[in-house]
Structure 1
Amino acid sequence: MATYQELLAQKAELEKQIENARKQEIADAIAQIRSLMAQYGLTLADLGSKVGGKSSSTKGSKVAPKYRNKETGETWTGRGRQPKWVEQALASGKTLEDLAI
């Protein structure tokens, strides 16, 4: 029967083999992907990849306002918490349709 130290040495050797096999398989997969991309003329953009980790193109974009306060000209897109002027108008009996642009 193998000693504890021998088993630890075997474990370390197996872990090295596992890591080497993993690296080789990843390299083979990357080579295959590059080959297919070259064969079909694909780019990262074609794959829908976000190069550089940029956020989506719609994040932070402006939304057209849907509601307007006719007295002050203030607007609201209908997203997020209602502004006080909308809350006050609704409390006074108006509807969102009355405030619609």
Structure 2
Amino acid sequence: MARYKELLEQKKELEQQIEEARRAEAAAALEDVRKIVTAFGFSPEDIFGKRRKNPGQAAPAKYRNPGTGDTWSGRGRPPQWMKDNDAERFRIEE
């Protein structure tokens, strides 16, 4: 039983060492990133990309079926009513 307790204590010490090493390496990596960002003048958008203004909000309609009033934003798969038709015929005037 003593061996088991010794191993648990070693595990606890190793976990502490791992966390300390992770913190030290993360701090060094963050410092490197900050130096690179400053040196090249990167903006947050350069690094993370541009965020959508309203995530989850549907895109505005660009096309309307005059017969049914159905609309389509122009994104994704075209609806059946646009199949084999000129898209400009259904464009909503802005």
TM-score by length of 2: 0.64
Amino acid at match of 2:63: P
Q: Is the contact between residue 63 and residue 71 of structure 2 (CA under 8 Å) also seen in structure 1? A: yes
Which residue identity lines up with residue 4 of structure 1 in the other structure? Y
Q: Structure 1 residue 6: deviation in Å? A: 1.1
Distance change (3 Å), C-alpha of 1:49 and 1:16: farther
* Seq. identity, %: 31
Residue segments in structure 2 that go unaligned for 5+ positions in a row: none
C-alpha spacing 1:16/1:10, structure 2 compared with 1 (3 Å) = same
TM-score by length of 1: 0.60
Letter in 2 for 1:16: Q
Alignment check: 8 A CA contact 2:64 2:70 kept: yes
Measured against aligned partners, the alpha-carbon deviations of 1:41-92 in whole angstroms (never above 9, x if no partner) come to: 1111111346xxx6x34852213015322xx7x2422778x6xxx6xxxxxx
How many residues matched? 83
- Deviations 1:3-29, CA, capped at 9 Å, x for gaps: 111111111001100011011111111
The 3 A distance-change label for structure 1 pair 20 and 49 is farther
The SS at the match of 1:63 is coil
Structure 2 Cα separation of the partners of residues 39 and 7 of structure 1: 47
